[in-house]
Chains A and B, each alone.
Chain A
Amino acid sequence: MAKRSQDQISAFADLVEARSTAMLRLAYAVVGDYQLAQDLLQESLVKVYVAWPRLRDGAAAEAYVRRTIVTTAISWRRRRSFHESPVDAVPEENGTDDSDRLATHDALWDHVRGLPPRQRTASVLRYYEDLSEVETADLMGCSTGTVKSQVSAALGKLRERVGPHSGVLFPDDQAVTR
């Protein structure tokens, strides 16, 4: 049986050491669950190990892992997308006091977790990972038009659910206030 060479394993280990935390955060962002994110990261790293000979450098390998995380996450969650995942509890509308800031973050995150998988993935790639629409489309394996529609739908739902006085500035709001 052909095994990966020691040099390849060493390079793979370097990638795991250097980038695992960032990739775990991406996995958590797209699935919204810590245990699932750990499983997703492991599955994605195993896939990159298998594919290693055709990944010419560390940047290509990381890009491959990121793409694998996103596509595998959609694959896992796509089958759950017949309905939006219910959140544990629907938080009350938050005020704008400083003391409510953390609660606002938690509430928003709960609403993000409740989005359908594609909407959640497109949103976190655009507004957490700061990817362009083209980059997001490439990672998700879809068109930029799909990214736009998914993000638009996601933002619409989030706006509606957190309410007008939540203190969260959504992208359009930011554009207006700048």
Chain B
Amino acid sequence: MSTTLREALAARIDQVGPAHPDLDELVGLGERRLRRRRIAVVVASGAAVILVIALAIGGAAMINYAKHDNGPVDHPIHPTRAPVRPLVYSDDVDNYHVGTIHVGDQLVDIDQGLSTRGGWDLALTDAGVVYNKHSLWFTDGGAPRRISECGGKPSGSSGTWATWIDCAGDLVVFDTGSGQEVARKPLPSCLDEGWWCETDDVVGKRVYFTREGGASGLRERHYRFDVSTGLVVAATDQMYADDIRSHSPGLVFGRSWRTGTATDEGIFFDVVGSRLVPTYWDSGLPTEAFDEATGSPVRLSLPDGITPPQDPVAGSQGFILFEALDDNTIALVQRYERSLNHLQVLGDIITCHLSNGRCRLAVPAGPPDQIRLVPGMSYPA
């Protein structure tokens, strides 16, 4: 006797149910999420535990590395200047699809479907942009070329390296400047049933990646692959913070340059009068920013000509640091929630000089119904 594919599928799927979601729990979770979305200031008492959510350069996934203030740390000074990176963003986004991206002053057709509401599968390097469109592609502002037949979410770096874990479970390190594969490390445990791996960041010659899964699907393990030695070791938050401090241009946040936490992206800048005040994303507590390379305090000023947010939720307006263009220049995007529909809106892009705190309007916001994406930010939802 024959059976159709639909009958066979229905025979199993229709056995599921009935569902009995707990309405009170759903409403409670929803209300908590609404409160979080307002980025409210939480008044904390006692010792503060600081959590910085760092957005990997151009990466889609947030790296949940808790960064605790563990006391004085030496900050090596790095006077060498990194190459100037092109500003990368897209104003051609609709229905989970990115048509074109701006790479500096070049407009590149990437025709990339976004599979999720999560982060944009895009990674920045000094040489250009790596993006995932079924396979991995690279553009330096010119015609895109395929660099991997089958790769996962790519991660960029403060140099020219990009990394990803391919379909065979190999961690691949690729130099986008030379177009050559630099290293390949098989990771058999990433193929274990119920587990999966994803790269988080490349810092210097070290690749950080996460293995997640387990019976509950919630266990996470962080690892570091050293390209020079070929070794993989378990990674700690402190190891990551120390590497960032040593290799990546960016800022240090905290009470002082010496004791603060280094990160190169992902800090919320609250608009207070004409100032942009660095603020911890989770707690909403204001802090201070210091130039990682020089140790000088960084006090950013709101430039003239900023587009007023359209009907924002009170307290939701601010700027997000999303790209370091060189050792002295960072790019931030205006971000707020629109009260009409609670959609996240990305508006003006500004660039700021760390040395003098001056910012300028680089790319004005588009029309109200235009969706803007920048590396590391999620599709509006």
Contacts and interface: CB of A to CB of B under 8 A. Distances in A.
Nearest to B121: A78
Contacts of B165: 82
B153 interface: yes
Given A36-B217, A41-B21, A54-B343, A1 B35 contact: yes
Interface string B161-189: 00001111100000000000000000000
B169 A82 contact: yes
Contacts of A4: 27, 30-31, 34
Contacts, number: 187
Interface in A116-150: 118, 124, 127-128, 130, 138, 140-143, 146
A47 B381 contact: yes
B270 interface: no
Contact of A82 (B4, B27, B117, B191): B191
B115 A79 contact: no
B12 interface: yes
B116 A71 contact: yes
A78 B61 CA distance: 12
A172 to B, nearest CB: 10
B198 A50 contact: no
Given A83-B191, A168-B5, A141 B96 contact: yes
B178 to A, nearest CB: 26
Contact of B2 (A45, A49, A83, A167): A167
B44 interface: no
B247 interface: no
A59 to B, nearest CB: 17
A112 interface: yes
Interface residues of A, number: 73
Nearest to B193: A86
Interface in A64-91: 68, 71-72, 74-76, 78-83, 85-86
Interface in B1-38: 1-14, 16-21, 23, 25-27, 29-31, 33-35, 37-38
B195 to A, nearest CB: 8
Contacts of B197: 79, 82
A169 interface: yes
Nearest to A37: B16
Contacts of B11: 102, 105, 109
Contact of B4 (A3, A28, A169): A169
A81 B121 CA distance: 15
Interface string B111-130: 00111111000000000000
Nearest to B187: A82
22 contacts: A1-B38, A3-B31, A12-B27, A21-B19, A23-B19, A46-B30, A47-B381, A49-B26, A49-B33, A50-B342, A54-B342, A72-B116, A72-B117, A74-B116, A81-B167, A106-B12, A109-B11, A128-B9, A141-B114, A146-B113, A169-B2, A171-B5
